[in-house]
Each structure stands twice: as structure tokens, then as C-alpha cells.
């Protein structure tokens, strides 16, 4: 099994022009709008949420959506809308921490392997390929078996699980960059290893990783919601969307709103990051625009 890590072949673009180009692409603009909305909701959660997300009996139990409770209430009488609004904070935190871990570690691994070449590269990348084939969920389960359940551990587990993916992509970009004239010139000019890696290779890997990282947030959010749904991530009473879905499972027929709204929140968030990632890719890789 080889080659899912397709190099995105992104090129650096001036920031201001990039933002305009992003806004002109339909998927980029919609994606950016959704992500910005999510950030605003997360920042202003206490102002936006009409009730305390943890307070029981904010209203009657299992009340359907109404003027007082836009998304109804759950089995403990907590306001679903307020919980979803506060859940945006957890979701953003999950995305940032998980992608931060996998991006940093994967970037270093890929850079070092690609730069070193020879047998260190072969061994490192072979190992990365093997771990990659175990799939993220199984690696995450193994990490949780070691660390124990909980939302923070789930974020770490998801971060670790995606390291091979980022390492492969970084590695594939480094292989391309290493053969370009500017890099050979830098080698010929006698640049040091660190200088070659961090001043020459790194800046050229970053555009690709911005794309992959943006798409990666959606994967991380989905994975975290999945783990929380299984009860391995967020614990009660955290207003985490995946966990809210799992507590709705036995009440679907009587209180479908408990299942519909958190799922919608996850789907819209993931869609936002997917569209933003596609948009950024179009901006950074003009070849894609023709599609």
C-alpha cells in the first residue's frame, strides 16, 4: 500500500493577495465565514449563551425547542443551545492541540528523514508507513489504553495518531524541494545542516502544511467527537458535542433535538474547515483552479 500522501505542491503567495484570492473562491469564502463564526462563538460563549451550560433545570426536562430554549433541553433540564455554544470552545481547543502535536512532530520527522536521505530516511519512513497502516483510530485507542480516558488524553491520542500522516506529506515535499536549483545552490555555498533545514526547506514546506493542517483540524474534530461519543474522550458534565450525541442515543425517539443539534454543530464545523482547506489549496496551488 503506497502513496496516499499526495504532495500538494503549494507555492508561497503574498499574504494580502492570498486573502483576496481566498475570498474570491466560493469554498474558501464559505469556509472562512464558518470558521470565523465558530471562533466568535467560542470567544463570546458566555455572552451568547442564554443559560449556564452546566446548570441543571434551566428549564423543564426534555423540553422541545421553544422560544425560551431554541434547541430544547436535555434529560437534566440543561439548555442544549447554551451547551452547544460553550462546546465550540472545546472543539476549537481539540482542533488546535491535536493538530499542533501532529503537525510539529510530523514536520520534524519528515524534514529530518527527507534531508538526511540514505538509510536513516529508509528506516524512518518505513516505520512511519507501518504505523500509518494501523489507522488513526487504532493508534488513538492504544494511546488511550496507556493514558486512560479523558478529553485531554483524547486530544493527545489524536495528535499522536496523525503524526505519520504529516510526516509522510512533509517528507514528500522535502524530496521535491531538495532537487530544486535554489537548494543545490545553498548546499554548494556551504550552508550548515541547520541552515539548510530551517531556512531553506522549512519555508517551502509550510504552504503545503497550512493546507493539510486546515483539513487536519476537521479530521481531529471528527475523531475527538467519535472518541467522546464512545465515552473515551469528554466526561460528564463537559458540553462536548460528541459526548452530547452519545447521551442522546437512548432518547432519540422522544427527544430527537438532543441528537440533531450537536451533530449539526460538528458537521458544520468540519465542513467549514474542509471548505477552508480546499480554498487555501486553490490559492496556493494554481493548478487546482482549473478543476
Partner 1 sequence: MLRFIVQRLFAAAITIWIATIAVTLLIHLVPGDPVRIMYAGFQTTEAEIEAIRARLGLDQPVWRQYFMYLGRVLQGDLGHSIVGNQPVLDTLLQRFPATLALTVSALVIAVVVGGSLGFFAAYKRGTAWDFGAMTLAIVGVSMPHFWLGLLLLFLFSMTLGWLPVGGSGWRNLILPALTLGLATGAVIARLTRSAMIDIFDQDFVRTAHAKGLPKTLVLYRHALRSGLVPVVSMLGLQFAYLMGGAIVIENVFAWNGVGRLAIQAVFARDYPLIQGFILFFATVVALVSVVIDVTYALLDPRIRYGT
Site residues for partner 1 per CB under 8 A: 1, 3-4, 126-127, 130-131, 133-138, 141-142, 144-149, 218, 222, 225-226, 229-232, 242, 245, 248-249, 252-253, 256, 259-260, 263, 266-268, 270-271, 274-275, 291
Cα 12 from chain centre: 22
Q: Which is nearer to partner 1, 204 or 277 (CB)?
A: 277
Residue 156 beta carbon to partner 1: minimum distance, rounded to whole angstroms: 12
Closest approach of partner 1 to the CB of residue 263, in Å? 4
Closest CA to 90 of 268, 275, 267, 266: 266
Q: What are phi and psi of 29, to 5 degrees?
A: -65, -45
CB of 79 to partner 1, least distance (A): 21
Q: Which is nearer to partner 1, 175 or 271 (CB)?
A: 271
Whichever of 203 and 256 has its CB closer to partner 1, that residue is: 256
Nearer to partner 1, 53 or 277 (CB): 277
Measured distance CA(241)–CA(90) in Å, rounded: 9
Q: Of 131 and 206, which CB lies nearer to partner 1 in the complex structure? A: 131
Q: How far, in Å, CA of 259 to CA of 52, rounded? A: 20
Interatomic CA distance for residues 144 and 205, integer angstroms? 31
Q: At its nearest, how many Å lie between partner 1 and the CB of residue 262?
A: 8
Beta carbon of residue 269, minimum distance to partner 1 (angstroms, whole number): 8
Among candidates 34, 30, 79, 31, which has minimal Cα distance to 52? 79
Distance of alpha carbon 39 from alpha carbon 13, whole angstroms: 25
> Euclidean distance between the first and final Cα of the chain, in Å?
27
Reference 85, options 252, 223, 241; nearest CA is 241
Least distance (Å) between residue 232 CB and partner 1: 6
Q: Which is closer to partner 1, CB of 126 or CB of 193?
A: 126
Backbone angles phi, psi at 79, to 5 degrees: -75, 120
Amino acid at each position: 500500500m503506497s502513496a496516499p500522501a499526495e504532495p500538494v505542491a503549494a507555492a508561497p503567495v503574498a499574504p494580502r493577495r492570498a486573502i483576496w484570492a481566498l475570498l474570491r473562491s466560493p469554498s474558501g469564502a464559505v469556509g472562512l465565514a464558518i470558521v470565523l463564526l465558530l471562533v466568535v462563538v467560542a470567544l463570546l460563549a458566555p455572552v451568547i449563551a442564554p443559560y449556564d451550560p452546566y446548570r441543571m433545570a434551566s428549564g423543564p426536562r426534555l423540553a422541545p425547542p421553544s422560544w425560551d430554549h431554541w434547541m430544547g433541553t436535555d434529560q437534566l433540564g440543561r439548555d442544549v443551545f447554551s451547551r452547544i455554544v460553550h462546546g465550540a470552545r472545546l472543539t476549537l481547543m481539540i482542533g488546535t492541540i491535536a493538530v499542533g502535536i501532529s503537525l510539529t512532530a510530523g514536520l520534524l520527522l519528515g524534514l529530518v528523514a527527507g534531508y538526511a536521505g540514505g538509510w536513516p530516511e529508509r528506516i524512518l519512513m518505513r516505520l512511519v508507513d507501518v504505523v500509518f497502516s494501523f489507522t488513526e483510530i487504532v493508534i488513538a485507542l492504544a494511546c488511550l489504553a496507556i493514558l486512560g480516558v479523558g478529553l485531554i488524553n483524547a486530544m493527545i491520542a489524536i495528535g499522536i495518531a496523525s503524526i505519520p500522516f504529516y510526516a509522510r506529506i512533509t517528507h514528500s515535499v522535502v524530496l521535491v524541494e531538495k532537487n530544486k536549483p535554489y537548494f543545490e545552490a545553498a548546499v554548494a555555498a556551504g550552508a550548515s545542516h541547520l541552515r539548510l533545514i530551517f531556512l531553506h526547506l522549512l519555508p517551502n514546506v509550510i504552504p503545503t502544511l497550512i493546507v493539510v493542517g486546515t483539513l487536519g483540524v476537521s479530521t481531529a474534530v471528527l475523531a475527538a467527537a467519535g472518541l467522546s461519543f464512545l465515552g473515551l474522550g469528554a466526561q460528564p458534565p463537559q458540553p462536548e458535542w460528541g459526548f452530547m450525541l452519545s447521551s442522546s442515543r437512548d432518547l432519540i425517539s422522544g427527544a430527537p433535538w438532543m441528537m440533531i443539534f450537536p451533530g449539526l454543530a460538528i458537521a458544520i464545523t468540519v465542513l467549514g474547515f474542509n471548505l477552508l482547506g480546499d480554498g487555501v489549496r486553490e490559492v496556493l496551488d494554481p493548478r487546482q483552479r482549473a478543476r
